């Protein structure tokens, strides 16, 4: 059974990070890379750069904010942009089938603060995602949801849980939404394996967050039981975060025998 590695990376502007993404695909055995926060319209998306590198790509974006893309070594089928059940000007989701695996790439809403309009939007968006997942699972036994969830599922996913208690990204309502996805039968692939203490996928640019390991684990790869059974590894690759001019997020990679 060949190894199939899928990854997620919030690049915080693909314009700035394109060389790093191309370099990453060239130097790593990644079959599928889901990107978030491309921050560009489809008209200016660097599609040709990926094609020239022998890669397949699908994307949906907008000016300044949001935007998602899927990069893959093999062709993509049945590409779907946005949540079909949720009218949304913000470009936050793209789905494709690659090597028989349904890949959902999501940039879940940040939410800003619990009392804000943006938090209401976050919870509504999560409810629509839950419905969408429920539908997709009816048709796809092999499904993976990858992305920036903007949710730290447990206190051990937070560098300083006392200080963060009840805040946006860790609140009970958000964690309940995360657990609703688990209740659909999805598995957090990171927790299938022994992991180092204080493993995070995002670090604040300020106050030397990365050097102090003051981070959060908010980027996740969830798998259906069928894929989880054949999952052999999940790692956070901190190397790109050490790069000059890094994204504030670093890639998470999950390997499955398919």
Partner DNA sequence: ATGGCAAATATGATTTGA
Q: Which residues are catalytic?
A: 107, 148, 249
Give the separation between CA 149 and CA 158, rounded to whole angstroms.
Answer: 14
Asked if 46 and 14 count as a contact pair (C-beta separation under 8 A), the reply is yes
Is residue 174 within the footprint of DNA (CB under 7 A)? no
In whole angstroms, the minimum distance from the beta carbon of 228 to DNA comes to 26
Count of residues that interact with DNA, criterion CB under 7 A = 28
Is residue 92 within the footprint of DNA (CB under 7 A)? no
Is residue 15 within the footprint of DNA (CB under 7 A)? yes
- Give the closest residue to 171 by CA, choosing from 127, 114, 228: 114
Q: CA-CA distances (angstroms) from residue 154 to 89, 111, 249?
A: 31, 18, 18
Long-range contacts of range 164-167, CB-CB < 8 Å, 24 or more positions apart?
Answer: 166/114, 167/114
Of 99 and 247, nearer to DNA (C-beta) is 247
Among 9, 25, 31, 39, binds DNA (CB under 7 A): 39
Burial 227-253 (b: 16+ CB within 10 A, else e): bbeebeebbbbbebbeeeebbbbbbbb
Any idea what DSSP says for residue 44?
G
Using CB under 7 A as the criterion, what x/- string covers residues 229-248 for binding DNA? ----------------x--x
Is residue 110 within the footprint of DNA (CB under 7 A)? yes
Among 168, 224, 250, 255, binds DNA (CB under 7 A): 168
Q: Which positions from 52 through 91 interact with DNA, judged by CB under 7 A?
A: 63-65
Query: Tokens 């504030």 label which residue?
Result: 248
Q: Which positions from 111 through 140 interact with DNA, judged by CB under 7 A?
A: 112-113, 118
Tell me the window of 46-54, 200-208, 220-228, 229-237 that interacts with DNA (CB under 7 A): 200-208
Give the separation between CA 224 and CA 137, rounded to whole angstroms.
Answer: 8
Q: List residues near DNA by CB under 7 A.
A: 10, 12-13, 15-16, 37, 39, 63-65, 109-110, 112-113, 118, 148, 150, 168-169, 202, 205-207, 216, 218, 245, 248-249
């Amino acid at each position: 059974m060949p190894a199939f590695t899928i990854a997620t990376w919030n690049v915080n502007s693909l314009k700035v990070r394109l060389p790093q993404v191309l370099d990453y695909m060239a130097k790593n055995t990644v079959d599928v890379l889901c990107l978030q926060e491309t921050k560009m319209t489809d008209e200016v998306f660097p599609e040709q750069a990926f094609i020239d590198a022998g890669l397949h790509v699908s994307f949906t974006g907008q000016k300044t904010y949001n935007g998602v893309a899927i990069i893959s070594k093999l062709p993509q089928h049945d590409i779907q942009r946005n949540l079909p059940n949720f009218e949304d000007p913000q470009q936050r989701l793209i789905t494709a089938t690659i090597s028989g695996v349904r890949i959902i790439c999501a940039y879940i809403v940040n939410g800003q603060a619990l009392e804000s309009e943006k938090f209401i939007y976050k919870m509504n968006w999560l409810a629509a995602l839950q419905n969408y997942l429920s539908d997709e699972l009816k048709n796809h036994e092999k499904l993976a949801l990858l992305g920036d969830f903007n949710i730290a599922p447990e206190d051990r996913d937070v560098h300083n849980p006392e200080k963060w208690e009840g805040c946006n990204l860790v609140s009970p309502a958000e964690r309940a939404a995360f657990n609703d996805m688990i209740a659909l039968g999805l598995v957090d692939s990171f927790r299938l394996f022994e992991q180092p203490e204080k493993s995070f996928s995002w670090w604040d640019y300020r106050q030397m967050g990365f050097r102090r390991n003051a981070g959060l684990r908010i980027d996740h790869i969830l798998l259906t039981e069928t894929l989880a059974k054949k999952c052999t590894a999940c790692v956070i690759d901190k190397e790109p975060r050490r790069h000059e001019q890094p994204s504030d997020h670093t890639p998470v990679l999950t390997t499955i025998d398919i």
